[in-house]
Structure 1
Amino acid sequence: MGETTAERAPAEQEERRVRRRRRPRWRIALAVAAVVAAGGVATVAVLRAGGDGGAERAADLPPGTAKVARQTLSDTQTEDGRLGYGPTMTATSQTRGTITWLPDSGGQITRGHRLYEVDGDPVVLMYGSKPSYRPLRIGTEGSDVERFEKNLSALGYDGFTVDDEYTSDTAEAVREWQDDIGVAETGIVDVGRVAFADGPVRVEAVAAHPGEPAAPGKKVLDYTGTTQAVTVELDTADQRLAKKGARVEVTLPEGPPVAAKIDEVTTVIEPGEQGEDPTTKVEVTIWLSSAKAKKAAARFALASADVEFTAGQRENVLTVPVSALVALREGGFGVEVVKGSASSYVPVETGMFADGKVEVSGQGISEGTLVGVPK
């Protein structure tokens, strides 16, 4: 005799309850990928807890397990760089005449020495961040006067006060300097007879030839600094890596990695080819100025280099493998905590993602806790 409807009801209700308890283990896919792409930080919505403080009991144990670990997470990324001498600058003539001498490519020039010659007279290199723009003579006042007087003093000339006023004492020191470099002793510094750069320069390329006419705006040569640097071009999506002053690790073709820091960050717009839109890049300059870095780079003129950036670091945090995260039906993420022959889902808050690990925190999550992972 068959079962009655009343007899089947309890069995069907129990089956429905079992089905409701069975929660599928949804591994992170697009959701976690979006979190990582957005910088690796997310806050998980709190799951409705069951009676034991966790989510409902899982029907089966996971295929593998891993322990919650306490460690330091670093958000690192390695990019290709090129070793050289940093950004290239251009020296242009500020006076008319004939170019009579030019340095060789690769030559290094320091303060007080000729950068090139016009009409047989040297154009002398001085240090400063701004170019000259007017003659300096008795009565001239301004920051350009002070900049020139600082250089004159650094070259060993004295008898004047280094300030923003060009006095007769300054003119007397200038005449002495003019005698030493072999030009007319006028006591006046004409425009175009001094070239300013941030420091010592290395001639990258010569753009003119002796005998060519010089004129205001004519390109004479390209130069760089004398300290070697690694330059890296980053996509704008990786701009988080480019923080001035941030520490990096540089690996050259030979030798161990050397520590350095980011010195300059600039935005570069590269024109598109064959009608394509221009692209924007973030250019990072890392000067190899420490003694160890200089020694490592000294054997190379131009070379490729690997640069490891650290965008962020979290010390002494609890971590699990990224694969341990599950997307919970109630929203947010959790982990499957395994205790003996049973397991339960526990909601977690996620922090930094790095090296296949993710920072987690939440009730019931501590160092050594066993969580489920795929095989």
Structure 2
Amino acid sequence: MNKKKITLSIKIQLSILILSTIFIIVCIFSSSFADWYTSNIFPIWINTYGRFTSLFPFSFGEKLIFVGLILLGLLLVVFIYLLFSLIVFLFRKNKDRKFHIPVFIQKYLRFISWVLTIIYLVMNLNCFSLYQCSQMDCNHSYTLEELTLLRDHIVNKLNAYAVTFERDSSGNIIYTGDMESEAKKAMQKLDGLFERMDGYQVTPKTLDNSVFMSQQYMQGYYFPFSMEANINGLMSISNKPFTMCHELSHTRGYIFEDEANLIGFMACINSDDPFFQYSGYISVLNYVNNAFYKSVDIDTYRSHVEVSDLVWYDDQFLTEEAWDYVNSHSFISTETIKSAADTFVDTTLKVNGVEEGKLSYNHVVDLLITYHDYND
């Protein structure tokens, strides 16, 4: 009886799958190992692969997703063909010959298996392992006085900044600087305040297909398989500097959303660009203001400095014009996409050990009170 030999390709694939699985298991059971990996090995991918994808003026990861969808569509066609062929084979009268899969389909399935193997490896190296790192120490039991000081400080800063910017006829801020370069410089200035900030910073990219992103109410994405920080090009301009810095923090190994919020905020307010500073304060306004609102009675809330209408306008996710564009270019309703996206993000966070899911974003208030000097 002839036994088929395991090919070298299959042996390599199995080795990658086994080693990758061992790697993520070790990370799960040892946060110190995950910390070591993120500080010493993870930066290698930034300085090599991240440097390579930054050469492209477009989002390399977005193009990979497009290619992936094509491959998925072809895979569906292959399965339909195989199913149809199997049914024909089972019902034919002459069954002397064995069921045969065409060579070109065998090669395609092997290719897909390699693609899935690489995705599994990359996601473990560039995403799942980061969730096993130690989290920042912070003050989880702040006082109402501390919260009040922080809230009023942020509102006063925003109200003062809002009236200083040039605006178009619709009231939107006009920004003429190089936002991508400023975001990278702002992140580099955090070297010494946070770990892993030195070295090469990838270039933040604006996604071409921001309609689908807007329907998810997402401001940015970190693509682990391309080491890129991507932002929503349709969102209000005031959100963009912070979002760039937030997503860049993921490329430095800070995968938890509350920590990325803090780092994005700190990068913006320490920037030399007033618009970046404004964006940083806007990014945390709702978190802090909502926490304060829930902590006091309505009269106390109203007795404190009021957020100006101009700030509230700049704080919106999308302008009315942008929403009109999104709704006119959507194939599926925004409500359906938003609900599915919320479930996906919440589930993904919980699977990776973030028990509170999307609610963990609110922990940025704890981190702000711990790390930000709001008495300046």
Alignment TM-score, normalising by the size of structure 1 = 0.19
Greater RCO (CA < 8 Å, at least 6 residues apart): 1
Higher helix share: 2
TM-score calculated relative to the size of structure 2: 0.19
Per residue, is there more strand in 1 or in 2? 1
Task: Compare CA radii of gyration and give the structure with the larger one.
Answer: 1
